[in-house]
Amino acid sequence: MKNYSLVDAHCHLNNELLLQDHDLISYWKSNNYKIFINSIINKNELGIAIKGFTVLHTAGLHPYLYFQKGQDFNLQDLIDFADKKQIHAIGECGLDKRYNNFAEQETLLVEQLAIAHEYDLPVVFHCVGKYYELAKIIKSNFPKTRGILHGFKGNAQIIDNFKQFDIYFSISSRLFQPSIDNKTLQAILKTDRYVFETDIELQHYHNSLEVIKKYNSINDIYSHLNISNKSFDLIDVQYKSIKNLFSVN
């Protein structure tokens, strides 16, 4: 039997007040959200929970946050989180062309891939303009890595390049900005290896209406493809992807 549960595969649930908002909770329940993959920015976010929902935490050293701003945890902390089973994935971590420290980024990424390998955890990848370099690093170091290309906005050729790995592609509003990248969207759907994500950071939102508007962006995918009669198939594939990545029921 197909499971029609929705999963937000990448979000930052760092606003405790909004997580108790009745209208937002009701929206999530009525739209059959079940699981949230919460990417932590600070240590204290490991305690975030939502009554009635499953929250799986991920933690990683981000190529911007770690080097440019400083995060309040480090590689040893990641090992401790994994050892205590406080996290279900490493990340987000990866490469970003906007910063001129590629060698440092690569070293940090490989160290985190090693932790994921040691603890058999998936990896949530942040990648801006360095997809081919990322594929090369994975292939050269830990080719059996499984994970998600978070915030994906590549192209069909990049998708083809990552088919050699156990990697899944995120579908988010990024594919609809500034205009719909229909070719990339269709290429992702053909892989049957995708997840839906909002990448919402709740601390930047003031009320539930703003948050609900962000979550409704996922519905744009169904509307654009004009597949309301097939949308459950899409939801089923994304849930299977999450099960394969995170071993959830």
The pLDDT tens digits for 181-210 are: 778 888 999 999 999 999 999 999 999 999
Return the CATH number at 140: 3.20.20.140
149, 93 contact by CB (below 8 A): no
Q: What percent of the chain has pLDDT over 70?
A: 92
What is the C-alpha separation between 248 and 246, in angstroms, rounded?
A: 6
**Domain presence at residue 57:** yes
Tell me the two tokens of residue 201: 């950071």
More confident residue, 179 or 19: 19
Q: What is the mean pLDDT of residues 138-160?
A: 95
130, 106 contact by CB (below 8 A): no
**Domain presence at residue 156:** yes
Predicted confidence at residue 150, as pLDDT, reads 96
Sign of the Cα torsion 70, 72, 77, 81 reads negative
What is the C-alpha separation between 218 and 196, in angstroms, rounded?
A: 7
**Domain span at 39:** 6-246
188, 159 contact by CB (below 8 A): yes
**Domain presence at residue 233:** yes
Q: Which range is most confident: 24-38, 169-183, 227-241? A: 24-38
Predicted confidence at residue 229, as pLDDT, reads 44
Predicted confidence at residue 228, as pLDDT, reads 45
**Domain presence at residue 212:** yes
**Domain presence at residue 1:** no
Give the number of domains in the chain.
Answer: 1
Mean pLDDT of the chain: 91
The pLDDT tens digits of the residues spanning 209-239 come to 999 999 987 766 666 665 444 455 788 899 9
Q: In what order do the strands lie in the sheet with 6-11?
A: 6-11, 33-39, 54-59, 89-96, 123-128, 146-150, 166-171, 194-196
Neighbours of 67 (CB within 10 A): 16
